[in-house]
Structure 1
Amino acid sequence: MVKRLGQGFKQVYRHGPNDTRYQELILSQWYQGALGQELIEAERGLISRAISGRFGASMVQLDSGFHEILFEQRLFGSGIIVSQLENRAHCPVVCAKPEDLPFEPESLDMLLMHHTLDLCENPYQAVREGALALKPGGLLIVLGFNPLSLWGLRSMIQSRPSGYGVWNSRFLRSGRVADWMQLLNFELERQEKHLFLPPMNRPAWLKNLALGEHVQRKLLPFTGAVYLLVGYKQVFGKIHTSPKRQRRSFMDSSVTANSTIREQPR
């Protein structure tokens, strides 16, 4: 039993799924279930609050299999989904890996990573690609599964080295991802835990356990199944001053328009 838990720990917290394309296909089916729908509904609300009052010309969602836009597309000039699988989403779809985004540097206003780091091969490289693609002041939103939760416990017990599905996703600590973002010059606005539902795919049980969810939220707020990170890209050394506040040079400050220069007697 201890050996199995150790293997589950390595699979979930370090390696993640072996075939990311097949993992996305499995997750696209899981999102249609009762638990998946509860997750999507909660995450829509989180994303809506994160981008409230913001506008931009371009928004990209790095998808994990849901294959639908999770933000209000009317707030942006264009909404694009990046997926490893072809799908019928009601928006432009780009087939690419999150570690190799096909966008020009500093071309995006907002980037949403919807459980991208839970299934990609190199999570840090995916965050780095996002940092390169965002404009100065651009917003990065990261949603991921929290290992310090009941969902993380189930994934550690149920995951298999050659398995797929939500419980074989990579459960990264939000603090680790936050460190990557700060290293890449992001200023964090939010670092939160949400969704205190038990990891059960039965609608009747989910409704009956609402009281337990409320108690867990109050007593153990760090055990939410999903973490939310929101940060904007900082740019150092590009502060532009207005002409009125520009400093004069040493020679200009020594001689003014009203001053006179007298010759000193030799």
Structure 2
Amino acid sequence: MTARRATPIELAEWLDTPPGQYVRAWEQRQVDAMVGNAFGYHAIQIGLPHWDLLQANRMPHKVWAHSPDAPYGTRAGRLICEPEQLPFDAQSVDLLVMPHTLEWCQDPHQVLREVERVLVPEGRVVLTGFNPCSLWGVRESLPGLALQLPIPVPLQVSLRRLKDWFKLLSFEVDRGRFGCYVPLCTTQAWLQRWHFLEHAGDRWWPAAGAVYAVAAVKRVAAMHLVGPVWRQSSRRKARRATVAPVTHQTNRKADV
């Protein structure tokens, strides 16, 4: 039986728990590094608007978009919409940040199609998500463990699948990283005791991190204007054709 998708409220509440704060701190550092050098005019965060993942970016216009049932405080620049139907013009957004957005939306691939539509050429999208191929992901297949250590997502969007979707939509992965190698503990004390696994996991089993952060760039094939070049080459050929070849005549002796 397929696990139900989480609601934005459930995900936001879990991110306030000790393991959620641990994930949130790691993702904040990664996203800050990925958006710090992104330039343009319009930056949009889709989902979890109470969590500012655009703070390290310097674009002048920022918007925090979220669904109607998402928790939001009193932050300015909020916009209520569904990620499957973004209310932005085509090629009008320079940066999109999506924290765990694909894990609670109804159609993740449609969301990425909308991302491709609204991003300008060379625009950037940054996503975070849970890694199903990790210690935290294994809990879904162990009887009883999912109830004792609940994560409000079904863990279905792997980084490998995400890269395949990017390739279909002409995105190029710019950078990505796994993190959070500590076992899924419910208290801050136990998270601190297992903290030594952060460096060990990053070195010895990097693809087994509990979460990932990935940045991709929208690529557009360059246009080659061949028309004027073709006409110019035709004129050159015609000019060469009108020039008569130079012949050398030999002197002949007069008949006697």
Give TM-score scaled by structure 2 length: 0.82
Distance 1:251 1:92, change over 3 A: same
Deviations 1:112-135 (A, max 9, x none): 111011111111111111111101
1:239 shift after superposition? 5.3
Secondary structure of the residue aligned to 2:103 is: coil
For residues 89-238 of structure 1, the aligned pairs below 5 Å read: 89-157=74-142, 158-159=145-146, 166-238=151-223
Deviations 1:199-219 (A, max 9, x none): 112011111111233323322
Structure 1 gap segments, 5+ residues each = 1-6
Aligned counterpart, 2:35? 51
1:255 shift after superposition? 7.3
Aligned counterpart, 2:66? 83
Contact 1:154–1:167 (Cα < 8 Å) also in 2: no
Aligned counterpart, 1:253? 236
Contact 1:58–1:78 (Cα < 8 Å) also in 2: yes
Secondary structure of the residue aligned to 1:94 is: strand
Which of the residues 6, 12, 35 maps onto 1:28? 12
Aligned counterpart, 1:41? 25
Distance 1:212 1:53, change over 3 A: closer
* Matches of 2:111 and 2:138, distance apart in 1: 25
* Matches of 1:62 and 1:159, distance apart in 2: 28
Give TM-score scaled by structure 1 length: 0.79
Query: What is the identity, as a one-letter code, of the residue corresponding to 1:72?
Result: Q
Secondary structure of the residue aligned to 1:249 is: helix
Query: What is the identity, as a one-letter code, of the residue corresponding to 1:249?
Result: Q
Distance 1:156 1:111, change over 3 A: farther
Aligned counterpart, 2:50? 67
Distance 1:226 1:32, change over 3 A: same
Look at both structures and tell me which one has the larger radius of gyration over its CA atoms: 2
Structure 2 gap segments, 5+ residues each = 246-256
* Matches of 1:59 and 1:249, distance apart in 2: 44
Distance 1:66 1:79, change over 3 A: closer
Query: What is the identity, as a one-letter code, of the residue corresponding to 1:51?
Result: V
Distance 1:36 1:107, change over 3 A: same
* Matches of 1:145 and 1:86, distance apart in 2: 20
RMSD over aligned Cα atoms:
2.7
Distance 1:208 1:62, change over 3 A: same
* Matches of 1:75 and 1:34, distance apart in 2: 30
Contact 2:131–2:137 (Cα < 8 Å) also in 1: yes
Deviations 1:61-80 (A, max 9, x none): 111x3622212265111111
Q: Percent identity over the alignment? A: 26
Count residues in correspondence. 238
Distance 1:54 1:147, change over 3 A: same
